[in-house]
Amino acid sequence: MQEELNNLKNQAIAAIMEAKSVAELEQIRIDYLGRNGKITTEIKKIKKLKPDEKKNVGRLINEAMSTLAKTLAEQKLSFSQSAKHWFDATIPGEKPALGHLHLVTQAATEVTAIFEKIGFTRVRYPEVEWDWYAFEALNMPQGHPARDEWETFFINLPEDKKYGKVVLTPHTSSGQIREMERVKARPPIRMINIAKCYRRQSDATHVPMFHQFEGLVVDKGINITNLKGTLDYFGKKLYGSKSVSRIRPFNFKFTEPSFEVDFRCVHCDGKGCKFCKSGWHEVGGAGMVHPNVLKAGGIDPGVYSGFAFGWGLERVYLLKPGLNINDIRTVYRTNLAYLEQL
């Protein structure tokens, strides 16, 4: 009887695997496990067996019924999935969704393209910098507020005798000195430097890590007219022909005269809002390169002059019409629903 049960089980499994439809599987279930099925019939024979045989035969019948029930269920599921997920190997596959450049990368690309059209060259200088390049060579003496540990990130590394402490560069202006050193006292220079910067600030218009783009022009006969013309050109190319800009006298140690540069806020059309607070949006500083900075870069201020500007990339780009982002911290959110909109 044990051999007969094993044969019935194997026959049933073979029939299940060869079935072509759910209806065939149901018929197999009836033939073997139904009220008058072949396995069910074997159960009725147990009472005729000797007591010591009943236990073994009962166990074999239970195993056979359990195995067939499981195999039937798996085969039915495979039929169901095949019907739901029909597959034709000859049709073209679906292309995976492609990502896109982050907003900051898009901004850097667009800003670079604007300045390249008027002769600027994109450069890149260190994000981990020496104190001398970040401050001393830019005419910022010891004790200047910008060199305070509450404003600048200092790195816990040994100081250099000439260049001082190591810092996370607080502005791209350190690239001015390195670019002057690169040309070895032989201008002209038309540089645009875009890089990460680090300051201990965080609010609607500031984040601890942000991006700046630094412009530097050095040549003979450069004056404020050249600076203002460059600023206006940039504004109209980025914001449109109706762009309105202004410069305000200010005090920067590395330029003289110095200016703050503002653009009229596009979020409130100059009326004042959470983003701009006054109707104007400050994007950064600008001015004529200080003679001491030219000297630090190895360039004779008696022969050459220049202008420079350093602006926050995110701050500038958030004014772009149609972007509708009034908090700079939003740019660095990791929410996928937000990132897919950019």
pLDDT digits (tens, 9 = 90+) for 249-272: 998 889 999 999 988 877 777 788
Structure tokens at 122: 């994109």
Do both 217 and 328 map to the same domain?
yes
Which among 54, 84, 114 is the end of a domain?
Answer: 84
Domain assignment of residue 93, yes or no: no
- C-alpha to C-alpha distance for 309 and 107, rounded to whole angstroms: 17
Residue 83: what pLDDT?
54
Question: Are 211 and 69 found together in one domain?
Answer: no
pLDDT the model gives residue 316: 83
Domain annotation covers residue 97: no
On whether both 114 and 59 belong to a single domain, the answer is no
Residues 68 and 177 in one domain: no
321 prior amide bond cis, ω within 30: no
Same domain, 23 and 149: no
CA 191 to chain centre: 26
Q: Are strands 245-250 and 209-219 parallel, antiparallel or unpaired?
A: unpaired
Which residues does the chain have with pLDDT short of 50? none
Identify whether residues 198 and 309 lie together within a single domain.
yes
In a domain, 302, yes or no: yes
Q: Is residue 98 part of a domain?
A: no
Identify whether 94 is part of a domain.
Answer: no
Q: How many structural domains compose the chain? A: 2
139 and 170 inside one domain = yes
CA torsion, ordered 21, 26, 31, 33, to nearest 10 deg: 140
CB 238 within 8 A of CB 320: yes
pLDDT of residue 140: 86
In this structure, are 284 and 311 located in the same domain?
yes
**What is the span of the domain harbouring residue 233?**
103-339
End-of-domain residue from the set 84, 113, 131: 84
Co-location of 34 and 123 in the same domain = no
Say which amino acid occupies 287.
Answer: G
CATH number at residue 176: 3.30.930.10
Q: 225 and 316 in one domain?
A: yes
Quote the DSSP letter at residue 138: G
- Measure the CA–CA gap between 334 and 342, rounded to whole angstroms: 12
Answer for the pair 241, 222: CB distance below 8 angstroms, yes or no: no
- Looking at residue 223, its pLDDT comes to 95
- Is 132 within a domain? yes
Question: Which pLDDT belongs to residue 49?
Answer: 75
110 found inside a domain: yes
Residue where a domain terminates, one of 49, 84, 119? 84
pLDDT in tens, 116-155: 999 999 999 999 999 999 999 999 877 777 666 557 888 9
Residue 318 tokens, joined: 């958030």
**Same domain for 33 and 164?**
no
- Cα 63 from Cα 51, distance rounded (Å): 19
Is residue 315 a contact partner of residue 223, using CB atoms and an 8 Å limit? no
Longest dimension (CA), the chain: 121
CA geometry: angle 135, 163, 185, nearest 5 deg: 75
Query: Are 145 and 76 in a shared domain?
Result: no
Residue 90 lies inside a defined structural domain of this protein: no
Which residue shows structure tokens 């007969």?
Answer: 4
